Chains A and B, each alone.
Chain A
């Protein structure tokens, strides 16, 4: 594995944190707990794990030739373009009386895998990539929507020892999403 300094989405990343190490396990636990909270509609508790300088985005994808792979990620118009305040706004709406897109709520299953953790130039921040496969079951439909993406996160260890999500970019796989909205978090 590479251990040299390089840039990943503008963040200086360094050595991989070994799989099985204590720090790695703590971060995987953070991601699993996050998936559990979201799947169980515990949005308020999830929000407590967000850093107040959160940047939360989901680029569009386009089908391009192989040589143009980098151009498949569109970061002008995106599917999500949010910050801490707007995510709290979304949670407030979903917790209100009239958020019909998620009331009755979808039954979701967030499977988080392929977690890789790298050090960054900030000793308390980790660059974490993970794969997310979410199934979304709605009403009595006998099929589920599948939402798949790679998440590129910055996860920060606070002075208290708690982890916070400081940045998430969800790189969705579909150029035309097969779900009628993103009223669910990635």
Chain B
């Protein structure tokens, strides 16, 4: 049970008063205030599970890479036995960073300052001139290892937390796991990265990107309007309007979570009808999978889905597959079906983390994935398409990274910081009849519920112990 402690800022404002539950508003001060940011580093980034990458980035014993948990640098390493460890990249001796490179392969991590050395699992090996005992005799060697985070793998994705006794990763995902499994646990061999992540800095508070990841559908209509005007969605279906109107893409089911996770599941029947010309009403689950395989899979691969997913999960995957969304606090996923000029579809599988770098700065980290057994031509197409649409030079996400800094600037004004973010578009229908999945489920045109639940969990953690 979390104990409420209700932190109070130095001007007397309670953090909990920055959220207005009755009217679903959030005071914009949260996007610029340093005190709030410092609290977040402890209460959010010090407590929740955080994504650091994928195990396919460090396939061999001794492989390591340096990543971030909040503002803490960590070493993600694979030891001789193949186990993955997450270690604070701070020498217990004098605080120097132990590893200064982005990645490499080494059984031993040796600090360049005084030479203290550590194994891939963080154990302290020793310091130079062993007989003179640089580490003294006050502490046992066993107490002088690198600080270890609690670590777990999910579909090969590496998650870690400093909350050693806290909820398990499964508890953290809760009901949302049933849906994430449709993406990350769907295939026999699993997915892998196509390379290291793209990394770049955006001068914006991390929550501008974090809350958007909680399935903000509405922004697509305007910010990404080019997709409808001249981009991949400019070819319209019959009776589906003209110009930049992307609203037909906005119908579906949205899953939200008391832990701030969110998934936008977008109507597949419409896509099947438009792309294949088949009548989805007349297709069974298997026929639908073969008509339009999940993003990143081929017709040959869809038989694997039955090995890994339940009948109910397959029902959702073939009617309302999750396509975009996030995991609290700072993760976005996109498993999207992108229409091609020749009438076919190529999937993109991408994940981002938004690493806090101060109240008005974030690092955008973008991984691109493919199924391990996807054919080489498909992998190449997915790689190029994903780079062209998402991440650094991505034509979709260029516009996001140019938007978030302005929200952050707005939140600095004496007046602006007291304005509010509004999440007042509320679902009214609930889940579709006969919906087989768990969780908070709503049907219809995209709404704000998922993002509002993101903020409620933010508020819960900020006011917890």
Contacts and interface: CB of A to CB of B under 8 A. Distances in A.
B196 A62 contact: yes
A68 B103 CA distance: 11
Nearest to B403: A100
B388 interface: yes
Contacts of A81: 383-384, 387-388
A5 interface: no
Nearest to A178: B201
A12 to B, nearest CB: 25
A60 interface: yes
Contacts of B193: 77
22 contacts: A58-B393, A60-B198, A62-B101, A62-B102, A68-B104, A77-B387, A79-B392, A81-B387, A81-B388, A82-B387, A93-B226, A96-B229, A97-B226, A97-B229, A98-B229, A100-B399, A101-B401, A175-B199, A176-B200, A180-B203, A180-B402, A183-B393
A150 to B, nearest CB: 18
A77 B195 contact: yes
Nearest to B202: A180
Given A93-B395, A176-B363, A181-B402, A60 B195 contact: yes
A180 to B, nearest CB: 4
Interface of B: 100-104, 193-203, 223-226, 229-231, 244, 363-364, 367-368, 383-384, 387-388, 391-395, 397-399, 401-403, 405
A86 interface: yes
Contacts of A63: 100-102
Contact of A181 (B196, B225, B397): B397
Contacts of B203: 180
B196 A101 contact: no
Interface residues of A, number: 37
A154 to B, nearest CB: 20
A53 to B, nearest CB: 15
Contacts of B367: 77
Contact of B399 (A78, A90, A99, A176): A99
B53 to A, nearest CB: 12
Contacts of B405: 180
B104 A65 contact: yes
Contacts of A183: 393, 398, 402
A185 to B, nearest CB: 9
Interface in A169-184: 175-183
A89 interface: yes
Given A77-B368, A79-B198, A98 B244 contact: yes
Contacts of B198: 60, 77, 79
Contacts of B384: 81-82, 86
